[in-house]
Chains A and B, each alone.
Chain A
Amino acid sequence: MTNEQMIKTIRDAVLDYNLDAAVDAIKAAIEDKMPPTDIIENALAPSIREIGDKFGRMEVYLPELVLAADIMNACTAMLMPLLAKEGKESRAPVIVAAVQGDIHDIGKNIVASMLIASGFNVIDMGVDVKTSDLVEKTIESKAKIICASALMSSTIGSQKDIIDFLTALGERDKHVVLVGGGPTSKEWADKIGADGWGPDATSAVRLVEEHSGVRGG
């Protein structure tokens, strides 16, 4: 099988949301000595981007996005050791969480799935995450970026707490804090000293890309 054929097989499997077929195709590509960066850049990334774009146009929905994220996770796990051998550094993880007191998970899940699908190493801490736990995990995992979601006007104060905790620990300058969720706004983000605000999951991914140096701007 040529490289082009292998790349097409991987892309078809991803676009068909077929985890097993994607894993088999990646295994075959690895056995055939295809460089892992080629697998990511030419096969996985374009197909995942296509799914993300379809989600943005509401041609596919959250279940497909979650499947795509699962595939990306599984494939990345296979490729990471090879990338390490090649001397490629893995990206610092991104912390994603619904803040303390907030149990709404769908917006947070969409952001996490889209980040995973975009190739980020995501630590999804779930919902109602205690601020101290979130900050502790951020420092321990050497995460650079925190995406903090709040869906209620009564929980957005917890976003400010994250910044206060980081500041108190002398860690504020080492981390990028991005906030989002229904009652939040650019003004709110500015008021609490957050580094960015996104009105939706697509803009959250763009902000993470910008702050991680993946994209200029």
Chain B
Amino acid sequence: MVQILDVMKKALEGAPMSEADWQRKLFAPTIRRLVKEHGIKFDPNNPIHSDDSLADDVFEAGFELLLETGVYCTDTSRIISYTEQEIKKALRNAPDKLRVGEGRDRKEFVPRKTEDKTPPWCLLGAAGAACSSDKSFLTLVEGYAEIPETNAITTPAITVAGGMRIRPASPLELYGTIRNAVLAREACNRVGRPGIPIMNSLATAESSISLAAALNPRFGMRSSDGYMIGCLDPMRVDFDRLNKVVLALSCGAPIGMDFAPLLGGYSSGPEGTAISDVAHHLMGVLTYQTSYSIPFPLHLQYISNSSREMLWVINAAGQAISKNTHLLSLSLNYTSAGPCTMMCLCETSASVISAIASGLSIESVGVASNKEEDRTTPVEPRVSAEIAHAVAGMKRTNANDLVKELLAKYESKLSSPPLGKTLYECWDPENRKPSKDYQDVIGAYKKEMAALGVELEPEMY
């Protein structure tokens, strides 16, 4: 089985190639050929497909992509190649369940299958969204920890330390990351869920040195949390990311790799993006030694994954993975619209339904493309979790009809989405509730979902 030192050996001794050549002359043309060879075709009328053979084709193409292109190491300018046997063995040996958290909140995260009634694992929160202050950080994480369906927390990222904007790999980033750890645990303690696992540990740690600093046990991180490492798209790695792998392995903690194949980028269209998504799942098990995967394919223009093509990508790659492997995978969704808008809630619902029907669990949610400070609230992940539980077990054909109804409500607005309101404009931290305006939006959303046949709890707060 490929271990981290084997990965290093491959990174040091693999075939040399320039990064530009690897991306342009190897990765992009290989994807294009595999789309043709496997006859994979995006069907806009069926963003959630029901074709098991398509799931197999997408999986095989993803497998072949990894086999043919390998993974590019930007620090050695060499290709980390894997044999067919190495990939198959890694898939066989990958964890088929994960116990994370402590005490009452120690739970088992298990893989799901297409149309599976098994409740999805709900990793809820901000997915690393920028957060301007300790106050807003605590408000958000307390809100996430209070959601009944929360199995694990995905925290925001702190952007300011000591009154200064954080700089990468600087003392400011180290202090920001330490505060990320301390405040996240404090927020969970405050609402009576001290054992809940933090599974995007740690969003503020862009560099490995920051992660290392914050792993001092006095700051509260545990080996029962999940350590997240971001993959360089497409299918690249550097020493700093491998350093994080070594750090997490040395703590005995499970590693999650998040990756964002870009529709419109080197993967080209929806078909290539789905293939790339699958290949990233596989390369993560080997290169990043992952226990769980966090795919978040994104549309290059919308920087979200709620468009018709992106729902197909989430679903096609998800079905490929859940039908052909036992990998633990959490689909992370991004909306274009912001909090306190109907569009945002419809977008997150569509992406979550697409993931759940395909057999994935969820990480939710990156709001308003996850790029504005404090433009996220505890409501959006809560709605996502509620809809995820409500549609578990739904037939793919029904899920397909449902997302088409949702698409009709927002598809035309994706290029100029409403940004909605900021955290404290629509969330009351004292009463731990959304504002009256937001409650009205939630009520209207639930009525619309009921009209589409999905009954949700009438009172959320």
Contacts and interface: CB of A to CB of B under 8 A. Distances in A.
Q: Which of A55, A153, A155, A200 has the most CB of B within 10 A?
A: A153
A101 B238 CA distance: 14
Nearest to B299: A58
Contact of B301 (A58, A67, A104, A153): A58
B232 interface: yes
B171 interface: no
Interface size class for chain A?
A: 20 to 34
Contacts, number: 73
Contact of A63 (B173, B268, B303): B268
B264 A62 contact: yes
A154 B265 contact: no
Interface string A58-78: 100111001100000000000
Contacts of B372: 183, 185
B395 interface: no
A182 interface: yes
B71 interface: no
A66 B232 contact: no
B77 to A, nearest CB: 13
Interface string A77-115: 000000000000000000000001111101000100000
A64 to B, nearest CB: 8
Contacts of A100: 168
Interface stretch (B159-167, B351-359, B422-430): B159-167
B269 interface: yes
Contact of A106 (B165, B238, B265, B373): B265
A158 B301 contact: no
Given A101-B167, A154-B167, A182-B369, A63 B266 contact: yes
Contacts of B269: 61
Interface residues of B, number: 36
B300 interface: yes
Interface in B118-170: 130, 157, 159, 165-169
B350 to A, nearest CB: 19
A158 B28 contact: no
B24 A102 contact: no
Contact of B371 (A66, A104, A157, A183): A183
A153 B303 contact: no
Nearest to A100: B168
Contacts of A110: 300
B206 interface: yes
B55 interface: no
B268 to A, nearest CB: 4
Given A63-B28, A63-B268, A183-B371, A153 B157 contact: yes
Given A103-B238, A153-B373, A66 B169 contact: no
B262 interface: yes
Interface string B106-120: 000000000000000
A141 to B, nearest CB: 21
Contacts of B24: 63, 66-67
B32 interface: yes
Interface string A148-167: 00001111111000000000
Contacts of A183: 130, 371-372
Nearest to B373: A153
Contacts of B386: none
Interface of A: 55, 58, 61-63, 66-67, 100-104, 106, 110, 152-158, 182-183, 185, 200
Q: Which 3 A-B pairs have the closest CB atoms?
A: A101-B168, A63-B28, A61-B268
Given A55-B264, A62-B28, A62-B262, 12 more contacts: A61-B266, A61-B267, A62-B300, A63-B268, A102-B168, A103-B74, A106-B233, A106-B265, A153-B157, A153-B166, A155-B167, A200-B301
